[in-house]
Amino acid sequence: MLATMFVACGDDGSSATSEQTPVVSIEKKTISGISQKGPFVEGSSVKLYELRGGDYALTGKNFTGKINSNDGKFSLSSVTLSSQYALLEANGYFRNEVTGEKSKGTITLNALTDLSDREKVNINLLTHLEYERALYLVGAGLGVKAAKKQAEAEIFRAFEIQGDFANSEDLDIFSKGKGNAALLAISVLMLYDRYGEEAGLTEFLAKFAMDIEKDGTWDDEETKVEIADWASSTSLSHIRRNIEEWNLGDVPEFEKYVRNFWNVIFGLGTCDKKHEGEIKVSNNKKIYLTIYDRFICKDGAWFFANDHEKDTYKWDAGKDGEVRAGDVTGKKYTYFKSLSKWLWLDGWSLDVPKEFRLNPEINYGTMTDSRDGKVYKTVKIGDFTWMAENLNYADSVSLPSLKGNIQCINNDISNCEVTGRYYTWTAASDSICPPGWHLPSEAEWDTLFATTYSLTSRTGWESVNRGNTADSVGFSAMPCGFLVVGQFDMIASGGYAACFWNSSSKDLVPIGELHGCDSFGDWGGATAATVRCVEDH
């Protein structure tokens, strides 16, 4: 029998052509799928409730199953229903994408589905958020499939996502594809600044569903701004690493949808090749930004501009050695003709190549690391010859202990060309230095300090009393601080201290700010610091 066509009208006066599908029974089907917020963990429950054809009311008949692994997969066998319509419900703890840990509380997610032509139903945030809106549209006359498709599109639009994606029950945050990436982006944005305190998530989901139920639009501008503020400053690379470490499949490119959300909320407009390098201030007056919070268009996305970018925006080339005050912060910049760049030398900045931190009055030697061909400046201080630059060795094939134990600031290899690599104690203590060189002992560091305390580079230090010395011996220690390889890949004491490993203990050797380098024990295995090598005697 052919389906009957009719028109349903919503509260906003819009109309949609729909179908009224005949009711068919389901006989002994196995229904499987994946329950994801992040994935629900082992022990979570999954229920399938029968819905009556016609009014989609619960009949009281249900099937129950459990998730027996941490990938969120479930299966319900011998499902027999009087109609093809069902409500699935997943309840339990889940893996939090933002923290990488198991949630501290449980949540319940739903999925409304038509089983007439499917045996797989994924339960996720999209199936849950569309549920109330889809039921409302069904009540207005739309068929289940049409109602769900409209609700899905409206939810994506609420998060500034455009596209024609697969049905919500087919999306999977561990598969490649634009729809899967969009789902994962929503899953991340919905958590925003909870950081393991998920107690308010259920309330937020209910509030969102209620907001869009009747008109399909999300009107909570205040919450949008809060999420945008969080999304603009959170480490998406850290979130990606969390998800990848679960080893449950391919992680789609969700980042572009997260960035696009806060770009739109901030009113920044399009970022493409035409706008590359453009600096903008948000025109959204609800966001608590200052004149210093400017954004730059880079590689197709907006990012917070650093001081150098906003200070020197649209500056022309200067004369070699010319000094200018920054347009926004007033910092003083010097033009280097050899680099065709304006650089801020006085304070700590990754824009300045390490060569410009060396003392030009010192006659440095050189050493070539035979393992990778890198050339380092060296300097003789007393009876010892030291590297005058931080080690930047990263071959984890030749030295397996390096795998997972080395880091660059913001996971950007170009930053390691300035600071050298940050090594955990595991890596630093495993013959990390080139042949003929070694990690200095505490006694060798003490001998260096007994020779002179003038070890900091002439520029780059935020604290003038501790740094920016005459660098009389050419050691040229830059204030790279140490790296906390954790939730934010945080740089501790950057601009105020140089922190090096020694071979005698797990404590960091500080240069500059006396208390700028915390001990290994304070941060545990998350500490990564720089390395200077000394030549064997």
376 in the same domain as 283: no
Are residues 161 and 287 located together in one domain of the fold? no
Which structural domain, as residue segments, surrounds residue 391? Answer: 358-535
Burial of 495 (0-12, 13-18, 19+ CB in 10 A): buried
Is the same domain home to 377 and 507?
yes
288: its two tokens: 């608590």
3-state secondary structure of 257: helix
Spatial CA neighbour of 36 closest among 109, 87, 98, 104? 109
pLDDT number for residue 525: 59
Distance CA(203)–CA(127), nearest Å, equals 17
Does residue 386 share a domain with residue 463?
yes
pLDDT at 143: 87
Residues 277 and 380 in one domain: no
Q: Domain for residue 330, yes or no?
A: no
238 inside domain: no
Give the chain's domain count: 3
Q: Maximum CA pair distance of the chain?
A: 96
Query: Which amino acid type is present at position 22?
Result: P
Does residue 12 sit in the same domain as residue 151?
A: yes
Is residue 104 domain-resident?
Answer: yes
Tens of pLDDT along the chain (537 residues) come to 223 222 333 444 344 434 457 899 999 999 999 999 999 999 999 999 999 988 889 999 999 999 989 999 999 999 999 999 999 999 999 999 999 999 999 999 999 999 999 999 999 999 999 999 999 999 898 888 899 999 999 999 999 998 889 999 999 999 999 999 999 999 999 998 776 677 789 999 999 999 999 999 999 998 998 899 889 888 898 899 999 999 999 999 999 999 999 988 988 888 888 988 899 887 665 555 555 578 899 877 888 888 888 899 989 999 998 999 999 889 899 998 988 999 988 888 888 899 999 999 999 999 999 999 999 999 999 999 999 999 999 999 999 999 988 989 888 899 999 999 999 999 999 999 999 999 999 999 999 999 987 899 988 887 655 555 678 899 999 999 888 865 445 677 888 889 999 999 888 888 876 557 865 545 555 688 999 999 998
pLDDT of residue 197: 72
For residue 139, being part of any structural domain is answered with: yes
Asked if residue 136 and residue 16 are part of one domain, the reply reads yes
Cα dist from 95 to 36, 70, 329, whole Å: 9, 9, 42
Residues 204, 221: Cα–Cα separation, whole Å: 14
Q: What is the bridge-based pairing of β-strands 45-51 and 26-34?
A: unpaired
**Predicted local confidence at residue 84, as pLDDT:** 94
Q: What is the CATH number of the domain that holds 150?
A: 2.60.40.1120
Q: Concatenate the DSSP letters of all residues of 173-233 into one string.
A: TTS-SHHHHHHHHHHHHHHGGGTT-GGGHHHHHHHHHHHHTTTS----HHHHHHHHHHHHH
Point out the domain boundary residue: 118, 143, 170.
170
Q: Which of 185, 168, 349, 154 has the alpha carbon at shortest distance from 263?
A: 185
Cα Rg of the chain (Å, integer): 29
pLDDT at 285: 57
Q: Is residue 179 part of a domain?
A: no
The reply to whether 16 and 160 lie within a common domain is yes
Please give the pLDDT value at position 12. 44
Q: Is residue 20 part of a domain?
A: yes
pLDDT for position 287: 57
Domain end marker among 170, 189, 210: 170
Instruction: Tell whether 512 and 441 lie within a shared domain.
Output: yes
The 3-state DSSP class for residue 136 equals helix
Q: Are 181 and 165 in contact (CB under 8 A)?
A: no
SS3 category, 123:
strand
Residue 284 is predicted with a pLDDT of 64
Residues in CB range of 308: below 8 A, 6 or more apart:
333, 342, 343, 344, 349, 351
User: Which of residues 126, 151, 170 is at a domain's end?
Assistant: 170
pLDDT number for residue 8: 36
Alpha helices (H) along 485-528: 520-523
CA 241 to each of CA 16, 132, 244, 414, 516: distance values in angstroms, whole numbers, following the listed order: 42, 33, 5, 19, 28
362 and 291 within one domain: no
Same-domain check for residues 386 and 489: yes
Do residues 95 and 107 make contact, with C-beta atoms less than 8 angstroms apart?
A: no
Asked if the structure places residue 62 within a domain, the reply is yes
Query: Would residue 224 count as lying in a domain?
Result: no
User: What is the distance, to the nearest Å, from the Cα of residue 460 to the centroid of all Cα atoms in its chain?
Assistant: 28
Residues 300 and 362 in one domain: no
